[in-house]
Structure 1
Amino acid sequence: MNRHTAREKALQILFQMDLHENESQAEMEEMLVAEGNEPFLRNLVEGVRQRKEELDGMITDKLENWSFDRIASVEKTILRIAVYEINYLDDIPSTVSINEAVELGNRFGDEKSGKFINGVLSKIIA
């Protein structure tokens, strides 16, 4: 599984876990195993899940005229993944994380998601 596909799978798993907040560690483990137990995918899912509050704080700090609660769940999940990559995965350039997040936003969000995600992430790396 390439990293692009792993990001898509991470988005799907984390989005599902966000919608069903009572998802257990065992259920997350089942989803990861079903996806081939890919190390990069596991790193993204576990890292975002463990640092969710911290990541949400980093995102909230960069929002202008917008509240975190107003962000759609898909966009929140994409932002969390990208902010995790930018802050905790040194082997991935920030520009790659941003480009991948914008692409996910364009694919899974609405017509404005990509621009919104790009704007927030640009402030995070500034």
Structure 2
Amino acid sequence: MAEGPKKERLARRKARKRALDVLFEADLRDLPPGQVLITYLDRIAKPHPEHMGYATELIEGVAKNLDRIDELIASYAEGWTIDRMPTVDRNLARIAVYELLYVPDVDDPVAITEAVELAKEMSTDDSPRFLNGLLDRIAAFATR
């Protein structure tokens, strides 16, 4: 099933960006994502935007499945260790892999494209191509 109307797609893009903010901070500060999420929610304006529900689902889902997600990323990241990846790329990959494996109403191409688009905005010039290849390989594995 496709994600639906443009409004929902834009809300999910905002949610992915918020999830990236929290996961990035948790990664840099070596803190549990759930702990960072609590302080993040305290810092942002209330009432919280509607898309925070999906952002929270992504953050909690990545945190809950982090070992499996990182294992897949490490297995399919040709020539890269997970620790050597830029922090933004590592966490964009985590969000996308979570969506590929655990969010059935997000089509695989959508999860991949969203990660690539965010990488274009927020990471290095090589990141979009790297993430696209990595996530394509993981998606092919996940659909077997």
TM-score (norm 1): 0.91
> What does 1:1-126 align with in structure 2 at a 5 Å threshold?
2-22=11-31, 25-32=34-41, 34=44, 36=48, 38-126=52-140
Unaligned runs of 5+ in 2: 1-9
Unaligned runs of 5+ in 1: none
Match of 1:90, SS? Answer: coil
User: What is the rounded CA distance, in whole Å, between the counterparts of 2:35 and 2:94 in structure 1?
Assistant: 22
The answer on whether the counterparts of 1:32 and 1:42 sit within 8 Å (CA) in structure 2 is: no
User: What is the rounded CA distance, in whole Å, between the counterparts of 1:59 and 1:125 in structure 2?
Assistant: 11
Query: Which residue identity is paired with 2:39?
Result: E
1:14-42 Cα shifts (integer Å, max 9, x gaps): 10011111357444223135361721111
**Compared with structure 1, are the counterparts of its residues 16 and 27 closer, same or farther at alpha carbon in structure 2 (3 Å cutoff)?**
closer
Give the percent of matched residue pairs that are identical in Structure 1 and Structure 2. 34
The answer on whether the counterparts of 2:26 and 2:36 sit within 8 Å (CA) in structure 1 is: no
TM-score (norm 2): 0.80
Q: CA deviation at 1:48?
A: 0.8
Counterpart for residue 7 of structure 2:
none
Match of 1:2, SS? Answer: helix
1:25-72 Cα shifts (integer Å, max 9, x gaps): 444223135361721111001111121121100111112222222111
Aligned residues: 126
Q: CA deviation at 1:94?
A: 0.4
